[in-house]
Amino acid sequence: MLTVGDAFPHYSSQACVGIGKDDVKLLTNADYAGRWVVYFFYPKDFTFVCPTEIAEFNKQLKAFDDRDTSVVGGSSDNEYSHLAWRRAHPDLADLKFPLIAAQKLSAELGILEKTEGYCLRAT
Protein backbone atom coordinates (compact mmCIF):
# COMPACT_ATOMS: atom_id res chain seq x y z
CA MET A 1 0.00 0.00 0.00
CA LEU A 2 1.25 3.48 -0.81
CA THR A 3 2.12 5.82 2.02
CA VAL A 4 3.00 9.51 2.31
CA GLY A 5 5.81 10.37 -0.07
CA ASP A 6 5.19 7.49 -2.51
CA ALA A 7 4.47 8.40 -6.12
CA PHE A 8 0.94 7.71 -7.33
CA PRO A 9 1.06 5.25 -10.26
CA HIS A 10 0.32 6.40 -13.78
CA TYR A 11 -3.01 5.02 -14.91
CA SER A 12 -5.46 4.96 -17.78
CA SER A 13 -8.96 3.86 -16.72
CA GLN A 14 -12.47 3.94 -18.11
CA ALA A 15 -14.74 6.15 -16.03
CA CYS A 16 -18.39 6.99 -15.64
CA VAL A 17 -18.66 10.80 -15.72
CA GLY A 18 -22.45 11.19 -15.83
CA ILE A 19 -25.63 9.21 -16.45
CA GLY A 20 -26.04 9.73 -20.21
CA LYS A 21 -25.32 7.18 -22.91
CA ASP A 22 -22.07 8.97 -23.84
CA ASP A 23 -20.88 9.53 -20.28
CA VAL A 24 -18.14 6.90 -20.25
CA LYS A 25 -14.63 8.08 -21.09
CA LEU A 26 -10.98 7.28 -20.62
CA LEU A 27 -9.23 9.15 -17.80
CA THR A 28 -5.53 9.36 -17.01
CA ASN A 29 -3.32 11.19 -14.52
CA ALA A 30 -2.73 13.83 -17.20
CA ASP A 31 -6.37 14.92 -16.95
CA TYR A 32 -5.53 16.38 -13.54
CA ALA A 33 -2.20 18.03 -14.31
CA GLY A 34 -1.60 21.06 -12.08
CA ARG A 35 -4.22 20.06 -9.50
CA TRP A 36 -4.27 18.05 -6.32
CA VAL A 37 -6.45 14.95 -6.49
CA VAL A 38 -8.26 13.05 -3.75
CA TYR A 39 -8.81 9.48 -4.86
CA PHE A 40 -11.18 7.37 -2.82
CA PHE A 41 -11.97 3.71 -3.28
CA TYR A 42 -14.91 1.63 -2.11
CA PRO A 43 -15.59 -2.13 -2.38
CA LYS A 44 -18.50 -2.51 -4.80
CA ASP A 45 -21.31 -0.68 -6.56
CA PHE A 46 -24.86 -1.29 -5.31
CA THR A 47 -23.79 -1.51 -1.67
CA PHE A 48 -25.70 0.04 1.22
CA VAL A 49 -23.28 2.45 2.92
CA CYS A 50 -21.17 3.63 -0.01
CA PRO A 51 -23.75 5.97 -1.65
CA THR A 52 -24.00 8.09 1.51
CA GLU A 53 -20.24 8.55 1.66
CA ILE A 54 -19.93 9.20 -2.07
CA ALA A 55 -22.75 11.75 -2.02
CA GLU A 56 -20.97 13.58 0.82
CA PHE A 57 -17.89 14.06 -1.38
CA ASN A 58 -20.22 15.63 -3.95
CA LYS A 59 -21.73 17.97 -1.33
CA GLN A 60 -18.22 19.10 -0.35
CA LEU A 61 -16.93 19.46 -3.91
CA LYS A 62 -16.79 23.27 -3.84
CA ALA A 63 -14.52 23.15 -0.79
CA PHE A 64 -12.20 20.80 -2.68
CA ASP A 65 -12.30 22.96 -5.81
CA ASP A 66 -11.51 26.09 -3.76
CA ARG A 67 -8.26 24.30 -2.89
CA ASP A 68 -7.46 23.34 -6.50
CA THR A 69 -8.34 19.74 -5.70
CA SER A 70 -10.28 17.28 -7.84
CA VAL A 71 -12.11 14.23 -6.52
CA VAL A 72 -12.09 10.81 -8.21
CA GLY A 73 -13.92 7.76 -6.89
CA GLY A 74 -13.35 4.19 -7.92
CA SER A 75 -13.97 0.53 -7.28
CA SER A 76 -13.14 -2.74 -8.94
CA ASP A 77 -16.47 -2.63 -10.80
CA ASN A 78 -16.41 -1.66 -14.47
CA GLU A 79 -17.58 1.65 -15.89
CA TYR A 80 -20.95 0.22 -16.95
CA SER A 81 -21.69 -0.99 -13.44
CA HIS A 82 -20.86 2.53 -12.22
CA LEU A 83 -23.23 3.96 -14.84
CA ALA A 84 -26.07 1.60 -13.89
CA TRP A 85 -25.60 2.35 -10.19
CA ARG A 86 -25.61 6.10 -10.75
CA ARG A 87 -28.78 5.80 -12.82
CA ALA A 88 -30.45 3.62 -10.17
CA HIS A 89 -29.54 5.61 -7.04
CA PRO A 90 -30.90 9.17 -6.68
CA ASP A 91 -28.00 10.32 -4.47
CA LEU A 92 -25.49 9.39 -7.19
CA ALA A 93 -27.22 10.70 -10.32
CA ASP A 94 -25.81 14.23 -10.01
CA LEU A 95 -22.22 13.46 -9.07
CA LYS A 96 -19.83 16.07 -10.44
CA PHE A 97 -16.77 13.80 -10.34
CA PRO A 98 -15.92 10.54 -12.12
CA LEU A 99 -16.11 6.98 -10.86
CA ILE A 100 -13.28 5.00 -12.42
CA ALA A 101 -13.03 1.31 -13.17
CA ALA A 102 -10.07 0.70 -10.88
CA GLN A 103 -9.34 -3.04 -10.83
CA LYS A 104 -5.80 -2.65 -12.18
CA LEU A 105 -5.08 0.61 -10.37
CA SER A 106 -6.29 -0.76 -7.03
CA ALA A 107 -3.95 -3.74 -7.46
CA GLU A 108 -1.04 -1.36 -8.14
CA LEU A 109 -1.98 0.63 -5.05
CA GLY A 110 -2.08 -2.51 -2.91
CA ILE A 111 -5.75 -2.08 -2.00
CA LEU A 112 -7.27 -4.95 -4.01
CA GLU A 113 -8.55 -7.84 -1.89
CA LYS A 114 -6.81 -10.68 -3.69
CA THR A 115 -9.20 -13.57 -3.01
CA GLU A 116 -12.50 -11.85 -3.86
CA GLY A 117 -11.10 -9.17 -6.19
CA TYR A 118 -12.74 -6.07 -4.74
CA CYS A 119 -11.22 -2.76 -3.61
CA LEU A 120 -10.62 -2.15 0.03
CA ARG A 121 -11.78 1.20 1.37
CA ALA A 122 -8.97 3.69 0.87
CA THR A 123 -8.37 7.40 0.30
By annotation, the residues acting in catalysis are 50
* Cβ-contact 59, 53 below 8 angstroms: no
CA distances from 113 to 20, 32, 106, 121 (A): 31, 27, 9, 10
Q: Strand 12-16 to strand 99-101: parallel, antiparallel, or no bridges (unpaired)? A: antiparallel
Whether the Cβ atoms of residue 79 and residue 46 lie closer than 8 Å to each other: no
SS3 15: strand
Q: According to DSSP H, which parts of 40-78 are helical?
A: 50-59, 61-65
